[in-house]
Amino acid sequence: MQIYELKINRNTCTGCNACVVSCPINFNQLRKNSYLNEKNAVILVKNGIAVPIYNEERAVNCDGCGVCVKMCPQVAIRIEVMEGV
Amino acid sequence: MSFPKISRTLTQEEEHVKVQFLTESLELILNRSKCVGCGTCARVCPKEAISRGPIGASRRFPTTEDIVSEIYDPNKCVFCGTCVVMCPFSALTLKKNGEIINLADIPIVAQKVVPKIEFESKKLKNDRIVKQYAKATVKIIDEECAKGCGSCAEVCPSGTIEIAKRSEHGWEMSKNVEVVDPDACVACGACDNACPTGALQLEITEVKTSGEFSEQFWPPLLERLKTLRWSKKEGF
């Protein structure tokens, strides 16, 4: 089982929310729970900067689909594979 | 320095795993331009040495070096060649002492551990040639689909699945995934492997083989081939 890590360039991120809205896993959680918080979201905007959230305990995490990378207007997101896990 | 030397290198063209013994060497090479990220090798591998990489991202950004759809663990690989035999896109090659081993000369095929796989070769839209040895049906669960992420359509090599284009008016919700041409499906499992939410499930119904096989090796392999990522009901 691979774990994907979203790396965000904090200098160029404007906090526009495009990644949060486009993420399919976020969308599914939003439809089921009608809210997004630190417990169910994969990526969220905090203090004007997008923050990826990884939680070992929950079943849903980043799946490496690359939609957020494509949608980011500032090209500030990068997907990396965490190795040795 | 001690032998064997184990290494994994990554370039834009290939992912390369090598084990160097004192007198001989074994290599497993993934051609990244041929690979679609279907995950057949990951499912079939008896040692679980291959795992699923970020597939959607690897299709969307094929030139980025560090995003690979399949990831090898060189410490677990035993170079049996199961993945090379089963790969529908012949993206994998096995090398011994720097020379490519032919499909018929791989030990598990030569000693009839694996039956002869009866495949038809099929030419797809982008001149990619596929070995089709299985049949499958695509099932779409509407409630789970995120509608518009397009991972499945991006990954599908045969054009079986397409995502309906967003309508002119922004306020109308884009349509769901559509199975355009069920006969074109090559049963690789790429769509099931790439779907981030488990909305698309593939079911492999038939695998065409003939000839002798080992009772210990082939039936569990077949079972692993048929258990796709979302049919395991992992996650949700």
Would the CB atoms of B54 and A22 count as touching at under 8 Å? no
Tens digit of each residue's pLDDT (9 = 90 or more) over B51-72:
888 888 888 888 888 788 888 8
Tens digit of each residue's pLDDT (9 = 90 or more) over B13-23:
888 999 999 89
pLDDT at residue B36 greater than cutoff 50 = yes
Q: Is residue B190 part of a domain?
A: yes
CB–CB contacts below 8 A, A to B: 66
In this structure, the answer to whether residues B58 and B99 fall within a common structural domain is: yes
Of the candidates B75, B88, B13, the one whose C-alpha atom is nearest the C-alpha of residue B43 is: B88
Residue A19 phi, psi (nearest 5): -70, -40
Sequence-distant (≥ 6) Cβ neighbours of residue B148 within 8 angstroms: B163, B166, B174
Number of separate domains in chain B: 2
Q: How confident is the model at residue B185 (pLDDT cuts 50, 70, 90)?
A: confident
Q: Is residue B123 part of a domain?
A: no
Question: If you average pLDDT over residues B148-171, what whole number do you get?
Answer: 77
Question: If you average pLDDT over residues B178-182, what whole number do you get?
Answer: 81
Q: Which residue on chain A is closest to B155 by alpha carbon?
A: A65
What CA–CA distance (Å, rounded) separates B179 from B158?
A: 11
Interface of B with A in 142-161 (CB under 8 A): 144, 146, 149-151
In this structure, the answer to whether residues B86 and B44 fall within a common structural domain is: yes
Q: How confident is the model at residue B174 (pLDDT cuts 50, 70, 90)?
A: low
Residues of chain A in contact with residue B56, where contact means CB-CB under 8 angstroms, are: 63-67
A25 close contact with B: CB closer than 8 A: yes
**Are B12 and B63 a contacting pair, CB within 8 Å?**
yes
Would the CB atoms of A64 and B71 count as touching at under 8 Å? no
3-class SS of residue B35: coil
B50 close contact with A: CB closer than 8 A: no
Whole-number pLDDT of residue A1: 67
pLDDT at residue B169 greater than cutoff 70 = no
Q: What does pTM read for this prediction?
A: 0.82
Concatenated DSSP letters for B178-198?
A: EE--GGG-----HHHHH-SSS
In this structure, the answer to whether residues B103 and B140 fall within a common structural domain is: no
Would the CB atoms of A64 and B197 count as touching at under 8 Å? no
Q: Which of B111, B138, B154 is the last residue of a domain?
A: B111
- Tell me whether strands B14-20 and B25-31 are parallel, antiparallel or unpaired: antiparallel
In this structure, the answer to whether residues B107 and B143 fall within a common structural domain is: no
Residues of chain A in contact with residue B60, where contact means CB-CB under 8 angstroms, are: 66, 69-70
In this structure, the answer to whether residues B102 and B166 fall within a common structural domain is: no
B57 close contact with A: CB closer than 8 A: yes
In this structure, the answer to whether residues B95 and B149 fall within a common structural domain is: no
Would the CB atoms of A27 and B146 count as touching at under 8 Å? yes
CATH number of the domain bearing residue B193: 3.30.70.20
Tens digit of each residue's pLDDT (9 = 90 or more) over A6-62:
999 999 999 999 999 889 899 888 888 889 988 889 999 999 999 999 888 888 888
Question: If you average pLDDT over residues B67-89, what whole number do you get?
Answer: 88
Mean pLDDT, chain B, whole residue set: 85
Would the CB atoms of B144 and A66 count as touching at under 8 Å? no
Question: If you average pLDDT over residues A72-84, what whole number do you get?
Answer: 84
Whole-number pLDDT of residue B236: 41
- Please give, rounded to a whole number of angstroms, the shortest distance from the CA of B216 to a CA of chain A: 26
B59-68, B90-99, B213-222, range with the lowest pLDDT: B59-68
Of the partner residues A1, A60, A65, the one whose CB lies closest to the CB of residue B57? A65
pLDDT at residue A72 greater than cutoff 70 = yes
In this structure, the answer to whether residues B134 and B185 fall within a common structural domain is: yes
In this structure, the answer to whether residues B216 and B161 fall within a common structural domain is: yes
Range of the domain at B98: 5-111
Q: How confident is the model at residue B95 (pLDDT cuts 50, 70, 90)?
A: very high
Q: Which of B111, B145, B162 is the last residue of a domain?
A: B111
For a pLDDT cut of 90, what percent of chain B falls above it? 9
Whole-number pLDDT of residue B235: 43
Q: Is residue B141 part of a domain?
A: yes
pLDDT, greater one: B188 or B174: B188
Would the CB atoms of B196 and A66 count as touching at under 8 Å? no
* Best of B141, B149, B154, B192 to mutate (most A CBs within 10 Å, chain A): B149
Please identify which residue in the block is written with the tokens 């990644």.
A19
Q: What is the ipTM of this complex?
A: 0.81
Best CATH choice for the domain A3-82 from the list 3.40.50.620, 3.30.70.20, 3.40.50.12280, 2.30.40.10: 3.30.70.20
Q: Is residue B122 part of a domain?
A: no
Q: Is residue B59 part of a domain?
A: yes
Q: Is residue B33 part of a domain?
A: yes
Q: Which of B111, B142, B173 is the last residue of a domain?
A: B111
Question: If you average pLDDT over residues B129-134, what whole number do you get?
Answer: 89
